[in-house]
Amino acid sequence: MKRLVLTLTMLVAVICVMAQPKIEFEKKTHEFGDIHEEGGKVTARFTFKNVGNQDLLLTNVKPGCGCTAANYTREAIAPGATGYIDATYDPWARPGPFNKNIKVSTNEPDQASPYIIFIKGNVIKRPPTKYEIAGYKSGKGELRIKEATLRLTLTNTETHTDTIWLRNFREDGMSISVETKLPAHIKEVSRGFGNELRANTESYIVLKYDATIRNAWGNLNDRVELITTDSAEQHKYIFYKANIREDFSQLSPKEMEKAPKVEYSKTLYRFDTIRQATVATEDIIVKNTGKTPLIIRKIESSNPALSYRMSSMTIAPNESATLTLSFKAQSRRGRQNCSIDVITNSPTNPVQVIKVEGFVQP
């Protein structure tokens, strides 16, 4: 009896092993050949068949980059039935050859690593537009801004003036006004035209950014709105990306001697391998070894998964506070490298980068 039970058990095990889904692709590479940049997105269909004897399921279909998207059969594929994966590539602003992949995971028990399918081709660069020929490479409509993003690095005692070039490509005049509620630290200084920019004309607006009024630290974002009569895009924006640091150049030797000094218990946090949907935390001690209060001006994280909490933003001389870092793995995977910037009023170390490294296992 025992021998019979053992035989039946082994037979069931063999049957279970033999009963498996199995994917078989019609092809694993699609060659688009030459496509035109302005021609729009192109799609290749990869057809596959379940040659196994149990239902097949695509558990994950992951394009290798943001320029590629995938749509696929999401329901179970019965034995003998077929499914598909549509791989879509966007050629816009990507001239030249491309070779992109999509990783495909299934419920096949003996397939540890994902399948990889490929799309290849060559994007023929489009001819330049009239806007690009004139040096206006971005934007919409007939009124264009040559450089719509202004990047500034300055101290909290400085101002910065920029000349923003505009061009009206229309065959008639265009009204342009700067928003009435500008941020207090940004002012229109002058312009090379009145309220209307004439047809087929290039001119400018001069803006002044005042960091003394901004009264903030680190990486800051602002924008200025232009209200126009451009039918394609009435509201246009000039973006400021400023990095403001504290000016210690006017401190006397005596003031420097009394200034706060910051020390960190560590500037690199390596967490061990953690699983998705878990959190790695670490406490870093921040100490003021100076003679006046240490002020934490701002803390900036390079990654949304890395958050922080400071026990106190002001630290008295010879006192300490705790900076708690938390890395939330969530759906992330693989090697992780990120950091936070701690900005203080310590003239000898106003900006400290604290690096965070680790590995997230699915």
Query: Does position 267 have pLDDT exceeding 70, yes or no?
Result: yes
Please tell me the distance from the alpha carbon of residue 313 to that of residue 308, in angstroms, as a whole number.
12
Same fold, 20-124 and 253-361: yes
**pLDDT given for residue 298 in this prediction:** 97
- DSSP-assigned beta bridge partners for residue 318: none
Record the tokens describing residue 292, joined without a space. 């006046």
Nearest to 56 by CA among 28, 89, 84: 84
Please tell me the distance from the alpha carbon of residue 35 to that of residue 102, in angstroms, as a whole number.
20
CATH 2.60.40.10 fits 253-361, yes or no: yes
pLDDT digits (tens, 9 = 90+) for 345-357: 999 999 999 999 9
Record the tokens describing residue 41, joined without a space. 């997105």
| Contact call for residues 296 and 310 (beta carbons, < 8 A) | yes
The CATH number given to 20-124 is 2.60.40.10
pTM here is: 0.74
**pLDDT given for residue 181 in this prediction:** 87
pLDDT digits (tens, 9 = 90+) for 206-257: 999 999 999 999 999 999 999 999 999 999 999 999 999 999 999 999 999 9
**pLDDT given for residue 3 in this prediction:** 59
**CATH match for 130-245 among 2.60.40.10, 1.20.140.10, 2.60.40.1220, 3.30.70.60:** 2.60.40.10
Please tell me the distance from the alpha carbon of residue 362 to that of residue 360, in angstroms, as a whole number.
7
Q: In what order do the strands lie in the sheet with 262-264?
A: 262-264, 279-288, 320-328, 306-310
pLDDT digits (tens, 9 = 90+) for 171-181: 999 999 998 88
Signed CA dihedral, 240, 221, 299, 295: sign only: positive
Total number of residues shown for the chain = 362
pLDDT digits (tens, 9 = 90+) for 273-320: 999 889 999 999 999 999 999 999 999 999 999 999 999 999 999 999
Please tell me the distance from the alpha carbon of residue 283 to that of residue 309, in angstroms, as a whole number.
9
Please tell me the distance from the alpha carbon of residue 119 to that of residue 73, in angstroms, as a whole number.
18
Q: In what order do the strands lie in the sheet with 68-72?
A: 23-25, 42-50, 82-89, 68-72
pLDDT digits (tens, 9 = 90+) for 10-33: 444 444 456 799 999 999 999 999
3-state secondary structure the chain: CHHHHHHHHHHHHHHHHHCCCCEEECCCEEEEEEEEHHHCCEEEEEEEEECCCCCECEEEEEECCCCEEEEECCCCECCCCEEEEEEEECCCCCCEEEEEEEEEEECCCCCCCCEEEEEEEEEECCCCCHHHHCCCCCCCCCEEECCCEEEEEEECCCEEEEEEEEEECCCCCEEEEECCCCCCCEEEEEECCCCEECCCEEEEEEEEEEHHHHCCCEEEEEEEEEEECCCCCCEEEEEEEEEEECCCCCCCHHHHHHCCCEEECCCEEECCCEECCCEEEEEEEEEECCCCCEEEEEEEECCCCEEEEECCCEECCCCEEEEEEEEECCCCCEEEEEEEEEEECCCCCCEEEEEEEEEEEC
**How many other CB atoms sit within 10 Å of the CB of residue 351?**
17
**pLDDT given for residue 66 in this prediction:** 78
- The upper half-sphere exposure of residue 163, i.e. CA atoms within 13 Å in the direction of its Cβ, equals 6
pLDDT digits (tens, 9 = 90+) for 112-164: 899 999 999 999 999 999 999 999 988 999 999 999 999 999 999 999 999 99
Please tell me the distance from the alpha carbon of residue 328 to that of residue 129, in angstroms, as a whole number.
45
- DSSP-assigned beta bridge partners for residue 157: none
- DSSP-assigned beta bridge partners for residue 97: 122
Burial (CB count within 10 angstroms: exposed 0-12, middle 13-18, buried 19+), residue 249: exposed
Q: How confident is the model at residue 332 (pLDDT cuts 50, 70, 90)?
A: confident
Domain spans in the chain, listed from the N-terminal domain onward: 20-124, 130-245, 253-361
Which residue is listed with tokens 């000016």?
247
pLDDT digits (tens, 9 = 90+) for 68-112: 889 999 999 999 999 999 999 999 999 999 999 999 999 999 888
